[in-house]
Structure 1
Amino acid sequence: MAEEPGRISTDGRRRRAKRGDGGRLREELLAAAEALLDDAGEDAVTIRAVAQAVGVTTPAVYLHFENRSALLHTVCLGVWDELDREMSGAGDGDGDGTADPLAALVRRGSAYIRFGLAHPLRYRLVASGPATAATRQVADACFRFLRDTVGRCVDAGVLDGDVNALTRAVCACLHGAVSLLILQPESAWPDDIARYADDVATVAARGAAALSGTARQ
């Protein structure tokens, strides 16, 4: 069987990859890292282990990923696409998205918490780990979704204040709610995760209203 480009040959020398093979190798590296992460946990995902799993040298991995954190975070990005979909749908839960923007903020906040608790390892790696391009991408996307809804609340007069400042406060509540639990064994988690997510998201939204001085009596 002919050796594939980018692999270590039988004589120990790595063949030069053909044009177009770099993208394929990158996907294989990600698949290997994901398998290691799911089978043996975070500590098993090393540059050397991924290189060995795919059959390339470690410098070949560094051609695609700056370091181990970048590799891990890129593996996690796929599942974060799910959060984009969930938060997008949650914002439209009241029909045209304009009837009750504060309720939409609660729904999006609840979706964020449920997602984090459904994917605790990937959430912790990306949201609480060292900053990489992946962490910035995730943070920007989440902030954008929530800022959009907070902005609608301000436009509707149910919140008053700087949109970015209010959004940061809401994000802190949501991230804290996830981080509080993923640092504990699941046996210590609330029995009703959906209720927990809704309760915290409601507190975050109403807290933003109180902070802005427009809380309803």
Structure 2
Amino acid sequence: MNPKTAVDPDQPSGPAGRGRLFVVSAPSGAGKSTLCQAARERLPDLVYSVSTTTRPPRPGEVEGRDYFFVSPEAFRQGIAAGQWAEWAQVHDNYYGTSADFIDSHLSAGRDVLLDIDVQGAAQILARYPDTETIFIMAPSLAALRERLVRRGQDDAAVIEKRLRNAAAEIARKAHYRHLVVNDDLPVAIERFVGILKGEVP
């Protein structure tokens, strides 16, 4: 069920050949998805973590590629068993990252990238203290507002809510080891990929 990738011998890895764990967080509209997609294209051996959810699949979503889909009962059993490296309940649905998914890839020497929010990142750090954390942000809240308006996916009330959430998330940026300001996209991609390759201290 978990995707398998080959290990690139030219890429640095963790202790005793163990892979490295990366967590990336960002406010909505900061360009995190674009940066992650660019990194996956540049680093094909990077394992992009697939979350588990109890919500039904949306049209076009594929089991094991977009999410692992389970029942609420199975997810709650996983909580009791300590199965989730991080998890949250959003409205009526659960979302989480399997610790077995992470551990199996790290043990095999593969680097793993998790795209999660600031609350999930705190849970991951509590369990994996050596995690490399990366925070992506727009150059300003004004720029973030402009991007959210330009992409045309949300009405004004939702945009204002996203901006309030963004301000709270940005206040947590000091908890992250690396900061990438997505002002110039090619420059941001180079910095982001450089962090994942171990070229940025």
Q: Taking structure 2 as the reference length, what is the TM-score of the superposition? A: 0.24
Larger relative contact order, structure 1 or 2 (CA cutoff 8 Å, min sep 6)? 2
Q: Taking structure 1 as the reference length, what is the TM-score of the superposition? A: 0.23
Max Rg structure: 1
Structure with greater strand percent: 2
Structure with greater helix percent: 1
